[in-house]
Amino acid sequence: MSQEEGQDARPALAVADVAEEANKIIAEVEKVIVGKSETIRLSVLTMLCGGHLLLEDIPGVGKTTLAKALALSIGGDFRRVQFTPDLLPADVTGTSIYNQSKGDFEFKPGPLFGNIVLVDEINRATPKTQSALLEAMEERQITSDGVTRNLPEPFFVIATQNNIEMTGTYPLPEAQLDRFFSMLSLGYPERDDEVHILGQQQVVHPIESVEQVTTLSRMVSAQHAVRELFVHETVRGYIVDLIRQTRGHPQLQAGASPRGSLQVMRAAQAHAAMRGADFVMPDDVKAVGPYILSHRVLPKTDLRTRGASSREVISNILSTLPAPVPTAK
C-alpha cells in the first residue's frame, strides 16, 4: 500500500471498531511473540496513541520481531537502523545528493521515512544523532536544505537500549526519555514458552505467517477516535493528583511534568477504547499509569540501591490515591 493510499479517506471509527482493530493486531503479533500478551497490548496501545516506544531489554528477546510483526499487521513500511557511535544525523533523517544526470541535488530519504521504525541501541549513538531522531519524533517532520518534509502516517518509532552493557554508550537524559510515550521490556520467556519457541522456529520463522489485518488509513482513524474518547473532569483531576504525588515524593528526586499528565490521559483513553468503552474510568488510569510514568520520574539513589524501581513507586501511589466514582457522559 502506498503512502497516499494509506492517507486517503479516513472514515470515523466507533469505539467498538477501535477495539476490534486493536484485538486483530494483537492476535497477529502473538503468533510470533509468545507469552508476552501484556507487552504486546501496551505496544499496540502506544501506537494507537500516536506515541513512541522505548524497549529497555537484553539482545535476542524478540524486539525486532515485535516491530516487524506490527508493521506487517497494519500493512506498513518497516525500517530498521542500527545506532552506532559514528552514525550522523543525516544518516537517519536523509540527505541531498548531487544527481549528475539531472544536474541538481536530489533528496534521499533516510530510514525515518517509514511507518514503523526500529532504532536499535539508541544509546550507542552520539547525543547529536539522538537529538535529530527525537526532534523528528516530536515534530513528525524533517527539514533538510530549507525544505520541510512530513513523515508518513502513522509514524511509530520503537527504540531499544541495552540496560546491561553500558560501556561506550550515551545514556538518554531524562528530558529525552520524556519524549517516549511508554517504556516497556519483553524480558526472558517462561520455560514452557521458550520450549514452544524452539519448536515454532525449528523449520521456519513464524513471522512469515503474520498477515495484514487492517490498513494504514484505519489505523490513523483509530488514533483520531482515541483522542475523542470522553474523559470526565473528575478523572482528569485524578490524573493530575497522581502526577502531583510524584512531585516531592520521598523516594523520587524529580516528578513527572505536565506532559506526563497528557500522556497518561491519552493512554487511559486508548485503554478504555481497547476494552470497548466510550469513556475513561479510574481503573484505566491505574492500568496504564506505571508504564507511562516510570521513565518520566527520577528515583533517588537509595531506591535504586535497594533494587526497587520507579514503576513500583507509581504503582504504590496508585494503590493509595483515592479514586473518583466512575462517571459517564
Q: What is the pLDDT of residues 291-314, one digit of tens each?
A: 999 999 988 887 766 767 889 999
The pTM score is 0.88
Name the helix (H) or strand (E) containing 54.
strand 53-56
Dump pLDDT digits (tens) for 111-154: 999 999 999 988 888 888 888 888 889 899 988 777 889 999 99
Dump pLDDT digits (tens) for 5-55: 444 445 568 888 999 999 999 999 999 999 999 999 999 999 999 999 999
Which pLDDT band holds residue 281 (cuts at 50, 70, 90)? very high
Respond yes or no on whether the N-terminal peptide bond of residue 111 is cis (omega within 30° of 0): no
More confident residue, 163 or 35: 35
Q: What is the DSSP letter of 124?
A: G
Dump pLDDT digits (tens) for 263-279: 999 999 999 999 999 99
Q: Are strands 252-254 and 298-299 parallel, antiparallel or unpaired?
A: antiparallel
Place of cell 528515583: 299
Task: Round to whole Å and give the CA distance between 276 and 289.
Answer: 19
Task: Round to whole Å and give the CA distance between 160 and 131.
Answer: 15
SS3 161: strand
Which pLDDT band holds residue 219 (cuts at 50, 70, 90)? very high
Q: How many CB atoms lie within 10 A of CB 103?
A: 7
